[in-house]
């Protein structure tokens, strides 16, 4: 079987956000494989280690630098990568068309992708890709097992956690708590340098953007930052309660 | 036609339905507004929906007893196409965000996801939404006239229900077989005020030390304040608290008047779920914890001493 993991390269969560030229400025910033996508790569490796006879292909659409994220996934243990290189900013519905076309060409059986990517805060890529392939989907997976062609697991819903079962092919979205992604070892990093990253151009996929970005603004709220020393707990508590009652007026 | 998919749970219409109605009224597009109710045993939901739309379409079917992204997206796309809907409004809950992308693909339409605002500008929908872990507001424009919009919970003030009830019509649907089987559900009902509804939230992290410490300190302080209880991902993963209390990127996004973070370091994934709160209070032993950068008030100290002192002070 073939497992496809979809990746995005995003701003490291610890980096502050800066805006230039009416978009978020990523030049010279620390960029990483999206952590939610990383759980997908790790889960693919674990399914294989638990007995699935699977080739693991990682796929990303993005500018030249995106190959770093793909290389990181190869160093974790993925077999090969496909990089659709473009500077165009695709919305999620347009991107899902590229991903579905690749999944068809690769005859993928299972697609894993992050539940919500940290750049566009979108949860839609997995579901939109599943719809294009006419496959079922499960979002926010927190436990997964594969037995033959049957997937079982648990996932988060609006009001709790549900156990599910479905048959391949399918799309699953991944999140923190599903597994602990491994760190690439030095030998695996060396090995990854020899693995294939196939380059593609976006033109071949004939997609039209459906959403246009008009502009961005950084959200920041100035905070008071009145921080007290708590060595004398009762005194600090009394002062805080007074501030919250009389100044902020947020408690009775 | 504006198609509004009515969110509901346990036989009751959800607050988000009235927020969608407000979005529909503000959007600046010609009506009518059609509410669509999907489910099993949803007569009461449909009756309430009749007071927030010009007409109500009801599919009350046993097949729709349990949410499924394929069934829901098929139903919504079918009704949208039959009615010539130009705008499809869906609540951006987990479920809503799981099926709205499928509706967009079926209709070959753009998706405006988890929006804070949405309005027609010269025939195209323009919306604001958050990105980069809720740190950036982006303005986006849908290409084409038909658009699927998922609306962030709490972004709109609930529209008041109308005096007159609109007509209800039963609709037939051609639904595909269900392919994802739900074998069991663990509902997490803590019997407390819901996180999304509370004016004050008291939240705890690993810094409270233990499940007992959480109960004593966080629940104790929340009880004193009539507040909801929140937790970090680490606390939920450790099994100390139910997932329904989780605040952050993978949990709930809250915006209470006051958010009191106890023993929480303030990882960006957590802050993305509470950073818009009116007033943020941090209590942590580590003066360098990032939570203090987003706090209005704070105490650097041992939570085991500070929180009991706070409870005592509030009792005075």
Query: Along the 316 residues of chain B, how does pLDDT read in single tens digits?
Result: 999 999 999 899 999 999 999 999 999 998 899 999 999 999 999 999 999 999 999 999 999 999 999 999 999 999 999 999 999 999 999 999 999 999 999 999 999 999 999 999 999 999 999 999 888 999 999 999 899 999 998 889 899 999 999 999 999 999 999 999 999 998 766 678 888 778 999 999 999 999 999 999 999 999 999 999 999 999 998 989 988 899 998 788 888 999 999 999 999 889 989 988 999 999 999 999 999 999 999 999 999 999 999 999 999 8
- Do the chains contact at A96 and B101, CB–CB below 8 Å? yes
Would you tell me which residues 221-250 of chain A have a C-beta closer than 8 angstroms to some C-beta of chain B? 221, 223-231, 233-234, 236-238, 240-241, 243-244, 248, 250
The ipTM is 0.92
Closest by CA to B246, choosing from B260, B257, B235, B258, is: B235
- Do the chains contact at A122 and B113, CB–CB below 8 Å? yes
DSSP conformation class of B309:
H
- Do the chains contact at B136 and A229, CB–CB below 8 Å? no
Do B151 and B217 belong to one domain?
Answer: no
Do B138 and B224 belong to one domain?
Answer: no
Peptide bond into B32 cis (omega under 30): yes
Is the Cβ of A176 closer than 8 Å to some Cβ of chain B?
yes
Is the Cβ of A174 closer than 8 Å to some Cβ of chain B?
no
Q: How far is CA B124 from the centre of its chain?
A: 26
Distance from the B159 Cα atom to the nearest Cα atom in chain A, whole angstroms: 23
Do B215 and B278 belong to one domain?
Answer: yes
**Chain B residues with CB-CB distance to A250 below 8 A:** 199-200, 257-258, 278-279
Residue B179 inside a domain? The answer is: no
Q: For a pLDDT cut of 70, what percent of chain A falls above it?
A: 100
Q: Which of B136, B170, B204 is the last residue of a domain?
A: B170
For B110, residues 6+ apart whose C-beta sits below 8 A from its C-beta are: A91, A93, A210, A211, B104, B142, B143, B144, B147, B148
Helix axes A125-133, B69-83, angle to 10 degrees: 80
Segment B121-174, tens digit of pLDDT: 999 999 999 999 888 999 999 999 899 999 998 889 899 999 999 999 999 999
Do B298 and B154 belong to one domain?
Answer: no
- Residue B275: how many other CB atoms lie within 10 Å: 23
Distance from the A109 Cα atom to the nearest Cα atom in chain B, whole angstroms: 15
Alpha carbon distance A93, B110 (integer Å):
7
Distance from the A248 Cα atom to the nearest Cα atom in chain B, whole angstroms: 7
The secondary structure of A165-210, three-state, reads EEECCEEEEECCCCCCCCCCCHHHHHHHCCCCEEEEEHHHHCCCCC
- Do the chains contact at A225 and B179, CB–CB below 8 Å? no
Mean pLDDT for the stretch of residues A31-51? 96
- Do the chains contact at B275 and A230, CB–CB below 8 Å? no
Specify the pTM.
Answer: 0.90
The predicted structure's pLDDT at residue A177 = 83
Domain count, chain B: 2
Do B44 and B85 belong to one domain?
Answer: yes
Do B235 and B309 belong to one domain?
Answer: yes
Sheet with strand A211-218: strands edge to edge? A211-218, B136-142, B124-131, B111-121, B147-151, B87-91, B2-5, B33-39, B55-60, B167-170
Segment A72-102, tens digit of pLDDT: 999 999 999 999 999 998 999 999 999 999 9
Chain B interface, best mutation among A131, A139, A239, A245, by max B CB count within 10 A: A131
DSSP conformation class of B215:
I
Do B135 and B242 belong to one domain?
Answer: no
- According to DSSP, the β-strands at A150-157 and A160-167 are antiparallel
Do B165 and B201 belong to one domain?
Answer: no
Contact A103, A135 (CB under 8 A): no
Count of CB pairs separated by less than 8 Å, A with B: 280
Residue B311 inside a domain? The answer is: yes
Distance from the A51 Cα atom to the nearest Cα atom in chain B, whole angstroms: 23
Tokens of A96: 């899902």
The predicted structure's pLDDT at residue B189 = 65
Among the partner-chain residues B98, B244, B287, the one whose CB lies closest to the CB of A160 is B244
Do B162 and B222 belong to one domain?
Answer: no
The predicted structure's pLDDT at residue B22 = 97
Q: Which of B125, B155, B170 is the last residue of a domain?
A: B170
Do B146 and B201 belong to one domain?
Answer: no
Residue B74: which CATH number? 3.40.50.620
Do B143 and B199 belong to one domain?
Answer: no
Cα A231 to Cα A38, A128, B157, B310: the distances in Å are 42, 54, 43, 14
**Chain B residues with CB-CB distance to A237 below 8 A:** 299, 306, 309-310, 312-313
Do B109 and B212 belong to one domain?
Answer: no
The predicted structure's pLDDT at residue B133 = 87
Chain B interface, best mutation among A244, A245, A252, by max B CB count within 10 A: A244
Among the partner-chain residues B9, B126, B292, the one whose CB lies closest to the CB of A227 is B292
For B8, residues 6+ apart whose C-beta sits below 8 A from its C-beta are: B14, B17, B37, B39, B42, B45
Question: In sequence order, which ranges of chain B are alpha helices (DSSP H)?
Answer: 15-26, 43-49, 69-83, 94-107, 211-213, 220-225, 233-237, 268-274, 303-315
- On whether the A2-205 domain is CATH 3.40.50.620, my answer is yes
Alpha carbon distance A52, A24 (integer Å):
40
Segment B205-218, tens digit of pLDDT: 999 999 999 999 99
Segment A133-179, tens digit of pLDDT: 999 999 999 999 999 999 999 999 887 889 999 999 999 999 988 99
For chain A, what are the domain ranges?
2-205, 222-252
The predicted structure's pLDDT at residue B309 = 97
Q: For a pLDDT cut of 90, what percent of chain A falls above it?
A: 87
The domain containing residue B32 runs over which residues?
A: 2-170
Cα B64 to Cα B38, B59, B133, B181, B202: the distances in Å are 7, 8, 33, 13, 37
């Amino acid at each position: 079987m073939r497992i496809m993991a979809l990746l995005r390269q995003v701003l490291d969560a610890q980096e502050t956000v800066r805006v230039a030229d009416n978009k978020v400025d990523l030049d010279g910033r620390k960029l990483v494989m999206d952590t939610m996508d990383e759980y997908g790569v790790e889960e693919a490796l674990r399914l294989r280690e638990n007995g699935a006879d699977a080739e693991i292909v990682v796929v990303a659409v993005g500018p030249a630098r995106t190959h770093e994220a793909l290389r990181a996934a190869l160093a974790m243990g993925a077999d090969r990568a496909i990089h659709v290189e473009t500077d165009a900013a695709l919305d999620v519905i347009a991107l899902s068309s590229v991903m579905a076309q690749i999944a068809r060409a690769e005859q993928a059986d299972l697609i894993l992708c992050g539940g919500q990517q940290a750049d566009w805060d979108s949860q839609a890529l997995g579901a939109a890709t599943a719809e294009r392939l006419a496959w079922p989907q499960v979002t926010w997976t927190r436990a997964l097992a594969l037995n033959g062609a049957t997937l079982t697991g648990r996932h988060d819903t609006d009001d709790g956690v549900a156990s599910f079962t479905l048959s391949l092919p399918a799309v699953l979205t991944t999140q923190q708590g599903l597994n602990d992604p491994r760190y690439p070892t030095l030998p695996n990093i060396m090995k990854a340098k020899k693995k294939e990253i196939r380059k593609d151009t976006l033109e071949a996929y004939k997609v039209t953007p459906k959403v246009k970005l008009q502009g961005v603004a950084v959200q920041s709220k100035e905070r008071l930052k009145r921080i007290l020393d708590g060595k004398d707990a009762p005194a600090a508590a009394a002062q805080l309660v007074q501030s919250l009652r009389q100044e902020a007026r947020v408690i009775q | 036609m504006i198609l509004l998919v009515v969110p509901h749970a346990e036989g009751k219409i959800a607050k988000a339905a009235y927020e969608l109605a407000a979005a529909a009224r503000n959007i600046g597009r010609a009506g009518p507004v059609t509410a669509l109710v999907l489910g099993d045993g949803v007569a009461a939901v449909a009756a309430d929906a009749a007071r927030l739309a010009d007409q109500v379409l009801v599919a009350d079917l046993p097949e729709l007893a349990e949410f499924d992204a394929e069934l829901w997206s098929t139903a919504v796309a079918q009704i949208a196409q039959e009615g010539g809907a130009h705008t499809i409004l869906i609540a951006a809950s987990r479920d809503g965000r799981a099926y709205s992308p499928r509706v967009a693909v079926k209709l070959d339409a753009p998706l405006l996801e988890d929006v804070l605002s949405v309005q027609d500008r010269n025939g195209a929908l323009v919306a604001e939404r958050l990105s980069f872990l809720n740190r950036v507001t982006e303005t986006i424009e849908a290409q084409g006239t038909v658009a699927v919009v998922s609306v962030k919970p709490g972004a709109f003030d609930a529209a008041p229900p109308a005096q007159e009830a609109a007509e209800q019509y039963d609709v037939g649907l051609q639904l595909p077989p269900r392919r994802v089987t739900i074998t069991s559900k663990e509902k997490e009902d803590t019997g407390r005020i819901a996180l999304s509804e509370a004016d004050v939230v008291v939240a705890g992290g690993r810094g409270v030390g233990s499940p007992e410490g959480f109960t004593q300190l966080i629940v104790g302080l929340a009880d004193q304040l009539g507040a909801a209880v929140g937790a970090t991902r680490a606390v939920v993963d450790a099994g100390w608290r139910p997932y329904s209390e989780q605040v952050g990127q993978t949990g709930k996004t809250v915006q209470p008047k006051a958010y009191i973070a106890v023993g929480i370091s303030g990882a960006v994934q957590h802050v993305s779920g509470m950073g818009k709160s009116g007033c943020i209070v941090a209590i942590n032993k580590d003066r360098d914890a990032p939570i203090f950068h987003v706090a209005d008030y704070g105490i650097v100290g041992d939570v085991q001493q500070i929180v009991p002192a706070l409870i005592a002070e509030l009792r005075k």
